[in-house]
Amino acid sequence: MSSANLTKDSVPTLLQGVMVKHDDVRERTVLLAPERTLALDGTGIAIIEMIDGKKSVSEIVHDLAKQYEADVQTIGNDVVAFLRDLINRGYIGITDGA
Amino acid sequence: MERNREQLAKIAPPPMAMLAEVTHRCPLACPYCSNPLELKAASQELTTEEWASVFQQAAELGVLHLHLSGGEPASRRDIVELIAAAEKADLYTNLITSGIGINEKRLDAMIDVGLKHIQLSIQGVDEKTADLVGGYKGGYKRKIQLAEWIGARSVPLTVNAVCHRTNMASIPDMIDLAIELGAGRLEIATVQFHGWAIENRSQLMPTREQVEATTQLVADARERLEGKLVIDYVPADYYATYPKACMGGWGRIGINVDPTGLVLPCHAAESIPSLNFENTRETSLHDIWYHSPSFNAFRGTDWMQEPCRSCERKTADFGGCRCQAMAIAGDATATDPACHKSPLKNRMIELAENAADTSEQLEFVYRGR
């Protein structure tokens, strides 16, 4: 699935074999996938924690905006940029929420 | 403690990945096997408890990914217990297998105890070729069967293929086969001449035209299959301009443990005679990673000679492969002869071209046969 198909109704999920782990030695949170590791920043962690295979992109944006009392537009840009990047790098997949 | 951590960081970052070669025993006899000529005997192998301790120490040192390899790791009767021990240490565990020795029940047991990823080798895209290269009749069918079982379960699959002169033309078929088998990743690694592979250099060496065509083909396939199949590709370096950044730098990312507990900075490091290696049976993994002369031998840039020493790429490719420098230049601190700046580059190309230029069909030399 290409990131070009990402819409506000898409439902992101972690792909098979992708896991979140706290890396105690380096004091950071990482995503682990076959042969790959990705360090997450605070924004990344907040978005990853919202991904449950049920929530759509717009629901995630709405929830994060509420939680951080932030502007929906700004959060929306962050979420979409993050998801596109992780879809292209093979950590996240999307299904069309119908 | 904090100060200690800062001091250690000056020596090296913590390792990210461990390659645990749990046994040298293998039912296959691939002509490009990179394991040493002298294999370690089963009686010398680390026990289940010893491996469990190695995995625990690795996790404490900072290792995140564990690759269980061999030989054939499933040749160990305790492979399920080893995976369970790795899971207990909270490592992301990958099994690198030929597929031989894993039935459906054993696969389920491995997944139940926490196996995260399986990397399955293929030796060809049809039964006849694959079984000839692997030197194991019936191997191809069992691999395809295992891939089907994996596909029906929730574990990601990588297909791994070594490419060489006699199979480079079938890389498009390998890509199709990987997709058909449900793999999310395909690794295409050009044969490297370490260990047993040296015995078959003239049988395996690709031509310059093949290498160039393959590089283009892989680039096109990656673009076409983005989001469907990840292709990791190790290109041949014999005809290249720059050497490969071997291991991502010596003692920077990876740590290898051989079947007997010998700890190596890379898989082929024993080919460098000036180095002595320590064993996990006597020394902690922490001390070996940070303080052993073998791991510190080629860290940083102080060990380098010219042309590496003044080269702007010295922290990008780390002078290339130390074992290749040893094998071709006869000096492990020399510039990798794959680099165009090496005074031995022409000799490297000549060696490759001579090995690749064979008008007759050569027979493979199989280990132990």
**For residue range A37-64, what is the model confidence (pLDDT) as tens digits?**
999 999 999 999 999 999 999 999 999 9
Does A96 map to a domain? Answer: no
Token pair of A29 as six digits: 């949170």
Q: Check if B69 contacts A (Cβ < 8 Å).
A: no
Residues of B in contact with A32 (CB under 8 A): 64-65, 92, 116
Helices (H) and strands (E) in chain B, counts: 13, 9
pLDDT in tens, A6-15: 899 999 999 9
Nearest to A19 by CA among B251, B229, B94: B94
Residues of A in contact with B94 (CB under 8 A): 34-35
Q: Taking a contact as any Cβ pair under 8 Å apart, which residues of chain B between 20 and 49 contact chain A? A: none
Average pLDDT over all residues of chain B = 94
What is the rounded average pLDDT of the residues A68-75?
A: 92
Contact B101, B72 (CB under 8 A): yes
Does A15 map to a domain? Answer: yes
Contact A51, A92 (CB under 8 A): yes
Q: Do A21 and B184 touch (CB under 8 A)?
A: no
Q: Could you tell me the CATH number of the domain that includes residue A34?
A: 1.10.10.1150
Q: Check if B232 contacts A (Cβ < 8 Å).
A: yes
Of A1, A25, A90, the CB nearest to B230: A90
Lowest mean pLDDT among B57-66, B227-236, B289-298, B342-351: B227-236
Handedness of CA B127, B130, B136, B142 (dihedral sign): negative
pLDDT at position B362: 79
Of A23, A30, A34, the CB nearest to B117: A34
Nearest to B248 by CA among B334, B320, B331: B320
Q: Do B184 and A15 touch (CB under 8 A)?
A: yes
Encoded amino acid at A33, one letter: A
Query: Helix (H, G, I), strand (E, B), or coil: what is residue B118?
Result: strand
pLDDT at position A97: 60
Q: Do A3 and B116 touch (CB under 8 A)?
A: no
Does A34 map to a domain? Answer: yes
Is residue B226 very low, low, confident or very high in pLDDT (cuts 50, 70, 90)? confident
* Alpha-carbon Rg for chain A in angstroms: 13
**What's the start-to-end Cα distance of chain B, in Å?**
54
Is residue B359 very low, low, confident or very high in pLDDT (cuts 50, 70, 90)? low
Residues of A in contact with B223 (CB under 8 A): none
Q: Do A21 and B117 touch (CB under 8 A)?
A: no
pLDDT in tens, A9-36: 999 999 999 999 999 999 999 999 999 9
Token pair of A91 as six digits: 């950590």
Global pTM reads: 0.95
Token pair of B369 as six digits: 């046969």
Contact B151, B159 (CB under 8 A): no
d(CA B266, CA B210): 28
Of B62, B64, B154, the CB nearest to A16: B154
Helix ranges (DSSP H) in B278-327: 285-291, 293-296, 322-324
Q: What is the DSSP letter of A1?
A: -
Residue B97 confidence (pLDDT) above 80 = yes
Residue B1 confidence (pLDDT) above 70 = no
Q: Do A19 and B61 touch (CB under 8 A)?
A: no
pLDDT at position B3: 65
Residue A1 confidence (pLDDT) above 60 = no
Q: Do B156 and A16 touch (CB under 8 A)?
A: yes
Residue whose pair of structure tokens reads 């020394």 in the numeric block: B283
Encoded amino acid at A36, one letter: R
Residues of A in contact with B155 (CB under 8 A): 16-17
DSSP annotation string for A55-74: --HHHHHHHHHHHTT--HHH
pLDDT at position B154: 87
Element (H, E) at B354: helix B345-356
Does A8 map to a domain? Answer: yes
Residues of B in contact with A37 (CB under 8 A): 16, 64-65
Helices (H) and strands (E) in chain A, counts: 3, 5
Q: What is the DSSP letter of B279?
A: B
pLDDT at position B255: 98
**How close, in Å, is residue B306 to chain A by CA atoms?**
34
Does A94 map to a domain? Answer: no
Does A98 map to a domain? Answer: no
What is the rounded average pLDDT of the residues B26-45?
A: 93
pLDDT in tens, B267-298: 899 999 999 999 999 999 999 999 999 999 99
Does A97 map to a domain? Answer: no
Which residue, among B8, B116, B155, would best test binding to A if mutated, counting the most A CBs under 10 Å from its CB?
B116
A64: containing domain: 3-89
**How close, in Å, is residue A56 to chain B by CA atoms?**
20
What is the rounded average pLDDT of the residues B361-367?
A: 86
d(CA A89, CA A12): 14
Residues of A in contact with B119 (CB under 8 A): 34
Sheet holding B92-97, edge to edge: B230-234, B185-190, B157-163, B117-122, B92-97, B65-69, B17-21, B254-257, B263-264
Number of domains in chain A: 1
pLDDT at position B5: 83
d(CA B192, CA B202): 12
Residue B357 confidence (pLDDT) above 90 = no
Of the two residues A60 and B354, the one the predictor is more confident about is A60
| Highest averaged pLDDT of the listed ranges A94-98, B91-95, B190-194 | B91-95
Q: What is the DSSP letter of B299?
A: S
Q: Give CA angle at B253 (B204, B212), nearest 5°.
A: 30
Does A95 map to a domain? Answer: no
**How close, in Å, is residue A58 to chain B by CA atoms?**
23
The residues, any chain, with a CB within 8 Å of residue B291's CB and separated by 6 or more, are B11
Please report the ipTM that was assigned to this predicted complex.
Answer: 0.92
